[in-house]
Amino acid sequence: MDPLLLQPRIHFTRSDAPVAVEAFEALTARYGQAPRAECDVVVALGGDGLMLETLQETLESVGEGAAQERRPVYGMHRGTVGFMMNDYSEDGLIERLMAAEAAAINPLRMTAHRIDGETRVAHAFNEVSLLRERHQAAKIRICIDGRERMPELVCDGVIVATPAGSTAYNYSAHGPILPIGADILALTPISAFRPRRWRGALLPRHAHVELEVLDPERRPVSATADNIETRHVTRVEIELDASITHTLLFDPGHGLAERLIREQFA
């Protein structure tokens, strides 16, 4: 935070969990509630799902003022999973915001082409995942920067994850944890059947990933950017969108870089 902002204007947002609602009422009564467009910082009360929703909200803004609308976000854990959140306390919030460490993150841009010809675009701060929609395994062709790297992956799905999202779904699928400053993305299969022993790949940060669904009529596949799902896709293009930057705030010594290292020794 800017040290000159002795009393930052805070906009609180929350999930629907009772504990988050209770925290919202207590904190807004104590620190006030600035309008979103006029605040200096957003404080999100909930879990990682709310954090992703909060980041997604500003992506709907377009035009010259969009960058100014992306206020830094400080999360406090009042939900289920809180990897991207700080510990909750009603006391000393102003001091915590003033001392917070910043982490800048860029989202992935997913362009999903559907079987009906429609194209949908969405962003993901954690990962883009392709998943089979029926009992049959998906068959996916993988191209990187216009070059075919795998003609057919038979699997339940595949994930492209950012460093910030590498400890989420990617890690559960046995993908690698990436340091927050790493210039790489993780490409991780979900229950790969053929090639059976393929464990995925590490890709340059600015790689253009193209995932083509083979036999989409018989083996339908959905594509999800964080929590935004597109069903019946035929082809999905994924690349980092460096034009969008969000800033997350963390208590000193508990930033994303430290959390990603600590997670590997848990």
CATH number, domain with residue 219: 2.60.200.30
> Is the same domain home to 75 and 101?
yes
Q: Would 130 be classed as within a structural domain?
A: yes
> Is the same domain home to 196 and 122?
yes
- 157-161/184-190 β-pairing: antiparallel
> Is the same domain home to 216 and 185?
yes
Q: Would 5 be classed as within a structural domain?
A: no
Q: Would 2 be classed as within a structural domain?
A: no
* Active-site entry in 2, 16, 48, 183: 48
> Is the same domain home to 170 and 51?
no
Best CA proximity match to 185, nearest among 106, 77, 87: 106
Give the predicted TM-score (pTM) of the model.
0.86
Q: Would 184 be classed as within a structural domain?
A: yes
> Is the same domain home to 81 and 128?
no
Tell me which residues of the chain have a pLDDT lower than 50: 1, 3-4, 61-68
Other beta carbons within 10 Å of 137: 17
- pLDDT number for residue 79: 86
- pLDDT number for residue 181: 79
- How many domains does one find in the chain? 2
Q: Would 79 be classed as within a structural domain?
A: yes
Check if 48 is active-site. Answer: yes
| Rounded Cα gap, residues 110 and 52, in angstroms | 16
- pLDDT number for residue 69: 57
> Is the same domain home to 70 and 144?
no
> Is the same domain home to 100 and 201?
no
| Residue 181: domain span | 108-240
